[in-house]
Structure 1
Amino acid sequence: MTAEETSWPAAGTPYAQAPAPVPARSPAMHQVAPQASLTSAPRPVPVGVQASFDELGTPLRDVTFCVVDLETTGGSPQSAEITEIGAVKVRAGEILGEFQTLVNPGNSIPPFIAVLTGITDAMVASAPGLSSALPAFLQFAEGCVLVAHNAPFDVGFLRAAAHAHSQRWPSFEVLDTARLARRVLTRDDAPDCKLATLARYFRSGTTPKHRALGDARATVDVLHGLFERLGPLGVHTLEELSAFSSRVSPAQRRKRHLADHLPHAPGVYIFTDDRGRVLYVGKSKDLRARVRTYFTASETRSRMGEMVGLASKVTGIECATPLEAEVRELRLIAAHKPRYNRRSRFPERATWLKVTVEPFPRLSLVREVKADSGTYLGPFGSRRVAEQAVAAIHEAFPIRQCTQRLSRFPRSGSACVLAEMGRCVAPCVGAVDMETYAAHVADVQAAIAADPARVVEAASRRIGTLVVETRFEEAAVHRDRMAAFVRAAARTQRMSALARCPEVVAARRTPEGGWEAHVVRHGRLAAAGVVPRGTPARAAIDVIVSAAETVEPPPPPAPAATAEETERVLAWLELPGVRLVELSGEWSCPVGGAQSRLEWLDTAYAARDDVVLCEDRRRLRPVHRPAR
C-alpha cells in the first residue's frame, strides 16, 4: 500500500524622571548672533550653514509624543470594547497636556473583567460612547508620534474602533516602549519588560495600577529612561530611533560564517564559546536560515548580541521532524542549562500538589511524583501558584490544613479556629470519623481528576460577594486561586491521559506528500521519522516503531518526560490531519473536566495579566489639562 492509499482514523482532540526641556535648534540652519554695540550699527544678516550628516533628521527633543494606554473588556478588538482611554502629550521632557475618559462600551462589563480593570458598569453608565471619545482623542493626538507599551494591543483597538465608527485613522508613527526596552536593556537590567517592572527600574514617579492615565504617565517615565540609555548609543533623532533595530556590530557580522556549514533542514542549533560551554540552544525548521539571522538586523534582542559576541562555534543537529526538534531542544536545555536560555532550564524545580496517603489525608507540596497511591495535581511552574491552588481547594472542601500526622485515633482537646469557622471538620480532635473524612477527601480527588465544578462554584460565590462589596483586590486574589487550580487540573488530566498509554503511533501528511510519524510512549517522544512519498507507509512506520526508545511506565499521573515535552507532543497530536496508526491503552479525558473551563478563564484574563487595582474609580469625561 502506498502513502497515497493509506488512510487512518483521525486522532480525537482530547483537547527616569522627564529630562529638563532643551531649547529647540533647527537641524538645517545656524544663525550668527548680533554683537553688542553702543552705536546703531546694522544687525548682521543670518548666514546659512550646510548641516552635517549627523544633524540630519528630527531631533528627539523636537518630537511631540502622545503616550496612550487603554483599558478594555478583553484581549481582542473583534470581541471586546474599550472602557477607558488615557494619554499624555510630551515634548522635550515637558508634559504639554493630558487626556482621560471612561468609555461606555454599550454592554455589560463581565464581572471578571471588572475585577481585572477595576472598572464597573456603574462607572461607565454616564460616560460617553466611543463615537464621542475617539474623535476627542484623535484630535488630542494629532501631529504626534503615538507611544504605547505593547503598542500592537492599544493601537490595534484604536484602529479597529476608528474603522467601526467610520473615522479616518491618521498615519501615526508608532513607538512601542516594550519592544524598545527589549532592544536596550539586558536581562541583568530587568528580568522582564512589563510596564510595572520597567517603572520600578527607571524609578517612575507613578506606579502602574492598570488604569489608563496612570499607566500612560508611567510609560512617559519609561520612555524618558530609555532615551537616556539610547543617547550614548548615538540615537538622537526620530529617524535613528526608527532604525535602531538595524544597528549590528561589525563583530556580529564577522561571525556569519558560523552558519555556513549548517543544512537547510529542521533541527536544533547549539552556540558554544571557545571553551566548549553551551551558551544557547534553539530550534528551527531551517537551521542555516535561522542561525544566519543572529548575525543580521533581524536579531534585535540585546542579550542575543551579547551571546553572539561570546560564541565561537555553532553546532547543528538535524532532526527528522519539527516536533523532534522541539523535544531535542527541551532536553538539551535541561541538560546544559545555557545561561542565555530563559525558559525550560530547570524542569526539576516543578512543584506538585499531593493528597497524602495517611488515615486523615491533607494537601502537601512536593517535588516529585512517587508510586505511593497518592493523588497528584500539577506540575506547577512555581510554588506560589501551587499555594494558590491549595487555597482554592481549602475554600471548597473542609479538609484539614494542619501539617502534623494524625493516627487512626486522634487526640482529644479543643479544635483550631478553622474548625470554629466551619472551614475544617477537625479530625485532629475526633470530631469526624475516618469514613466521613474519607468522603471529603474523595470529593477533592474527584475535583482534581474529573470535575472542578465545586472549586469553581465556591470561588465564584466568593468573588461575586466581594465584587458587590467593591472589594476588588480580594476578589482578584480568589480569582487567581481558582485559575491556578483549574489550569493545573486541566494540565494534569490531559497529560495523565497520554501518560497512561503504553504506546501511541500517529502520522501526518507532509507538504511533499509523504508522512511524518511519531511514536509516543507514556507521554514521551520515543521515535520520529519521515516516510517519503511513494514508500509503503505501514512498513516504513513499523521500522520507526521497532527502533523506538524503550520507556518504563512512570508513577501516575506523571508522564515519562518533562511536562513541557508532553505538552508539545499533545499539541502535535491535536493538530488537524493527524492520524492514529496504533493505540495501546485508553486515551481519553473527562467530558466535564477542567479543560472545558479554560476558554472561560482565558476570556477573563485576556486584557492584562497581573492586576493592581486602582482605588480611584471616579466617573471622568474627556478633558484636556495643560501641565502647570
Structure 2
Amino acid sequence: MSSATHGARSRWESQRSFDELGRRLSDVTFCVVDLETTGGSAQGGSMITEIGAVKVRGGEVLGEFQTLVDPHTEIPPFIAVLTGISNGMVAGAPSIESALPAFLEFAQGSVLVAHNAPFDVGFLQHFAAQQGRAWPTFEVLDTARLARRVITRDDAPNCKLSSLAKLFGATTTPNHRALSDARATVDVLHGLMERLGGLGVHTLEELQTFSSRVSTAQRKKRHLAEGLPHSPGVYLFRDDSERVLYVGTSKDLRTRVRSYFTASETRSRMGEMVGLAERVVGIECATALEAEVRELRLIAEHKPRYNRRSRFPEKVHFVKLTREPWPRLSLVKRVLDDDADYLGPFGSRKAAEKCLAALHDTFPVRQCSERMGRSPSRTACVLAELGRCLSPCDGSVDEATYAAVVRQLRDTLLRRPDEVVEAINTRMEALARDERFEEAGAHRDRLAAFIRAAARTQRLSALTRCPEVVAARREDDGRWAVHVVRFGRLAAAGVIPSGADAHQFVRELRATAETVHGAPGPVPAATAEETEKVLRWLESPGIRLVEVDGEWVCPVAGATRHLAVHDAVAESRRSLVPFGERRDLATIHRPTR
C-alpha cells in the first residue's frame, strides 16, 4: 500500500467518523411552524386561531400547511388588531380537534422549528393532551434561542423575528399571520445555519453543544468559587481594584458561582466579566427573599457595569393629579408630601406618557401647565376647540362641573379603572372596523400602560400603608421562614430554628428589625421593584400572616382584574428576549414526557 493510498484512506476514515458524530443539517427535515392564538396561555383558556407551517430540507421547500382554526370563542379586540384575524374569518373553519391531527401528520418525522418555540410547541402539546393524543417525540429547534447565541448587537438591535428577517433578507415579511411568519422563519433558519456553518457546525448534534463553548481562561478561574457556602445569598464579582463588576443571587452560592467557570455559563458578556474578575464575595442570607432584596439594593448602590437591570431605580416617573382650584395631570419624577394623587412609578418616560394619553383621551381636564386661580380669564386653546378640554380658562365650565370630572378621574386612578377601559375599548373597536389598525394599536398600548400602572400603584400603596406586616411560610426543609415588612420595605428576615420557641423568635426578630419611616403618597419606603418582590412572596401559597399593623387591602374593582387580557396580548406579541438575558439553554431539546 502506497503512502498516498494510505493517506487518502485515512482522510476518508476521518471524514466518515466525523459524519457519524451526528446527522448533517443538510439532511435533516425541518418543519417550521407558527401559531396565532387568542392569548398568551393555553392553560389560561387561550385558543389557537391559525396554524401555518413549512417543511424544508437542504434549503428546499418540501411542502406548506395552513389553516384557520375556529376557537369557538370571541377573539379579543386586542388580538384582532394584532393579527388581523376576525371572528368572521374563523367562523366555519376547522376546530382544533381536526386541525391538530392534520398538522401532526404533516410534521411527522421532522424536527420542529419555531421562533420562541416554547410558546408554539406549548400550545400544540396542551391541545394534544386535551384530546388524549400522544405527543410525537419531536426534537425542537428554537430560532430565537439560536439567534441569541449567534447574532450580536452590531448585526441587529434584538432577536425579534422581524429584525432577523430584515437581517437575513427574508423573502417574506412577518405580519403576525401564521404562514407568512413561518416562511420568514425558514429564511431566518437558513441564515443562522449559514453563519453556524462558518463556525464549524454541520450536524444537529453539534448544534446542541454549540452554546457550551467556554474559554480556557474562564475555566481557570473556577477556584474563585472555593470557600463559598452552599446556602442562599448574594455574590459580588470584583476586579483587581475592588470595583464591583456584577451582583447576583442564588439559593446555593457555591454552585451558582462555579457555573460561571463551566459550560453552564455561555453568555459572552459574562465571559468578559469573568475575565476581569479577581475575587468573588459571598453574602449569606437567611432566606431566598432576603437574598433577592439584598441583590437589588447592592445593584442600586454599586451600579455594576455588567448588570443590565435594576441599576437606576431612582430614574422613574409618575403621573400626578394636582391639588389646586382647577386640577390637572402632569408628569413628575418624584412624589411630594402635598396631598396630590400619584400613579406609578413608571420605569420610562415613554410608558408614563402613554398612560397620560389614555387618561386625557377619557377625561377632558385641562392640559396646560400654568396655575389658575378660581376665576381665570384667558383665551381657550386648540384642545378646547377640539372638544378635548372643558376649558376652565375662558369660563366655559363652572367649578362644580369640573370638580365632578376630577372626582371621576381620581376614582379611576385609585379604585375603579372601568371608565378608561370601556372608553378606549370602544374607540379601538371602531378603529378596527375601519381597518385603522395602527391607530387602534396605539390606543391599545396606552390602555395597557394605564392598566399596569394603576394595578401596580394599587398593590404597592396597599402594602405601603401598613406600618408593619409580619408573615411566615414553611419552607421545603420544614422550617418556617419569617419576614418583617415595614411600609413596604423588608426590615428583617429569619428562619425559626428547629425546636425553638416560635413566638419568642418572632418577638426578637421584630425587636431587631430595621427602623423604617413611611414615604409620602403611594411610594413604598423601598424601590418599587423590591416591594413587588416582597408582595409576590406575601401572596404565594402557604403564607401565614402573624401580625398586620394597618389595613392591607386592595380595591375589589381595581385595575388588577384587567391585567390578564393585557398580559395575554403582551405574551402573544413577545418575540424579543434581551441580549443580556442569555442563558445556557440547549438550542435543540427533546420534550420531557
Matches within 5 A, 1:153-172: 153-164=119-130, 169-172=135-138
Q: In the alignment, which residue of structure 1 is the partner of 2:411? A: 446
Which residue identity does 1:421 align to in structure 2? L
Q: Are residues 1:173 and 2:139 paired?
A: yes
Q: Match of 1:225, as an amino acid?
A: G
1:214 is aligned, of 180, 188, 211, to: 180
- How far apart, CA to CA, are the structure 2 residues paired with 1:581 and 1:279? 39
Would you say the 8 A contact 2:115–2:575 is kept in 1? no
Aligned to 1:522: 487
> Shift of residue 606 of structure 1?
4.4
Q: Determine whether 1:328 maps to 2:297.
A: no
* 1:546 aligned to which of 511, 528, 553: 511
- CA 1:138–1:518 in structure 2 vs 1: closer, same or farther (change >3 Å)? closer
Give the 5 Å matches for 1:183-198. 183-186=149-152, 190=156, 192-198=158-164
Following superposition, the deviation at residue 221 of structure 1 comes to 2.9
Q: What amino acid is the match of 1:532? A: P
2:118 alignment partner AA:
P
Q: CA deviation at 1:166?
A: 6.1
TM-score (norm 2): 0.88
Q: Is the 1:85–1:212 contact (alpha carbons within 8 Å) kept by the matching residues of 2?
A: yes
Higher relative contact order (CA 8 A, sep 6+): 1
Per-residue deviation at 1:391? 1.4
Answering whether residue 349 of structure 2 is matched by residue 383 of structure 1, we say yes
| 1:579 paired to 2:544 | yes
Tell me by how many angstroms 1:131 deviates.
4.4
The alpha-carbon distance between structure 1 residues 548 and 168, as it changes in their structure 2 partners (threshold 3 A), is closer
Aligned position for 2:47? 81
Which SS does the other structure have where 1:349 is aligned?
coil
The answer on 1:125 being equivalent to 2:91 is yes
Tell me the distance in 2 between the aligned counterparts of 1:200 and 1:554: 48
Q: 1:403 to 1:543 in 2, by over 3 A?
A: same
SS at match of 1:607: helix
Matched, 1:353 2:353: no
Q: Please name the residue that 1:284 is paired with.
A: 250
Q: Superposed, which structure 2 residues align to 1:246-261 within 5 Å? A: 246-261=212-227
Which residue of structure 1 lines up, in the alignment, with residue 27 of structure 2? Answer: 62
CA distance in 1, matches of 2:293, 2:518: 19
Please give the secondary structure, in 1, of the residue aligned with 2:351.
helix
SS of alignment partner, residue 573 of structure 2: coil
Matched AA of 2:440: A
Q: Is this contact kept in 2: 1:514–1:534, CA < 8 A?
A: no
Which residue does the alignment assign to 1:421?
386
Is the 1:184–1:302 Cα contact (8 Å) retained in structure 2?
A: no
Q: Return closer, same or farther for 1:161/1:515 CA change in 2, 3 Å cut-off.
A: closer
Q: Deviations over 1:91-141 (max 9, x none)?
A: 344444433322223343233332232211111224333444444434443
For 1:341, the aligned partner's letter is N
Is 1:307 the counterpart of 2:280? The answer is no
**Equivalent residues of 1:500, 1:556 under 8 A apart:** no
The RMSD of aligned alpha carbons is 2.6
Gaps of 5+ in 1: 1-31, 33-45, 612-628
TM-score, normalised to structure 1's length?
A: 0.84
The percentage of aligned residue pairs carrying the same residue is 66
Shift of 1:426: 0.6
Deviations 1:544-601 (A, max 9, x none): 2222222222111111110000111111112223222322222222222112222344
Instruction: State the alpha-carbon separation in 2 of the partners of residues 263 and 407 from structure 1.
Output: 65
Whole-Å Cα distance in 2 between the matches of residues 319 and 306 of structure 1?
A: 28
Corresponding residue number in structure 2 for 1:50? 13
**Once the 2 structures are TM-superposed, how far is the Cα of residue 146 of structure 1 from its aligned partner?**
1.7
Tell me the distance in 2 between the aligned counterparts of 1:278 and 1:201.
Answer: 36
Instruction: Classify 1:431/1:187 alpha carbon distance in 2 versus 1 (closer, same or farther; 3 Å).
Output: same
Alpha-carbon distance between aligned partners in 2 of 1:130 and 1:536, rounded to the nearest angstrom: 57
- Count of residues in Structure 1 that have an aligned counterpart in Structure 2: 566
CA displacement 1:279-310 (0-9 Å, x = unmatched): 22111111111112222233343333333233
Distance apart, 1:274 and its partner CA: 2.8
CA distance in structure 2 between the partners assigned to 1:540 and 1:164 by the alignment: 49
Aligned equivalents of 2:139, 2:543: Cα separation in 1: 44
Match of 1:487 among 426, 438, 452: 452
- Looking at structure 2, the residues matched to 610 and 55 of structure 1 have their Cα atoms a distance apart, in angstroms, of 34
SS at match of 2:64: strand
Moved more, 577-586 or 342-351: 577-586
**Structure 1 residue aligned with 2:207:** 241
Q: Which is further off, 431-440 or 450-459?
A: 431-440
Deviation, structure 1 residue 604: 4.5
Q: Following the alignment from structure 1 to structure 2, what is the Cα–Cα distance between the partners of residues 578 and 168? A: 38
Deviation of residue 485 (structure 1)? 1.0
CA drift of 1:194 comes to 2.8
Aligned partner of 1:147 in structure 2 is: 113
Q: 1:457 maps to what in 2?
A: 422
Q: Could you tell me how far 1:341 is from its partner in structure 2?
A: 1.8
CA distance in 2, matches of 1:508, 1:217: 50
Please identify, of 575-584 and 86-95, the stretch whose mean Cα deviation from structure 2 is larger.
Answer: 86-95
Does the residue aligned with 1:580 lie in a helix, a strand or coil?
strand
Contact 2:160–2:575, Cα closer than 8 Å, also in 1: no
Checking the alignment, whether the CA contact within 8 Å between 1:512 and 1:533 is kept in structure 2 is no
Q: Aligned runs of 1:398-413 on 2, under 5 Å?
A: 398-413=364-379
Shift, 1:264, TM fit: 0.7
User: What residue identity is the alignment partner of 1:284?
Assistant: S
Structure 2 unmatched ranges of 5 or more: 1-7, 577-593
* Structure showing greater Rg: 1
**Secondary structure, counterpart of 1:347 in structure 2:** coil
Equivalent residue, structure 2, for 1:622: none
**Segment drifting more, 294-303 vs 556-565:** 294-303
Distance 1:58 1:523 in 2: 56
Shift in alpha-carbon separation, 1:352–1:311, aligned structure 2, 3 A: same
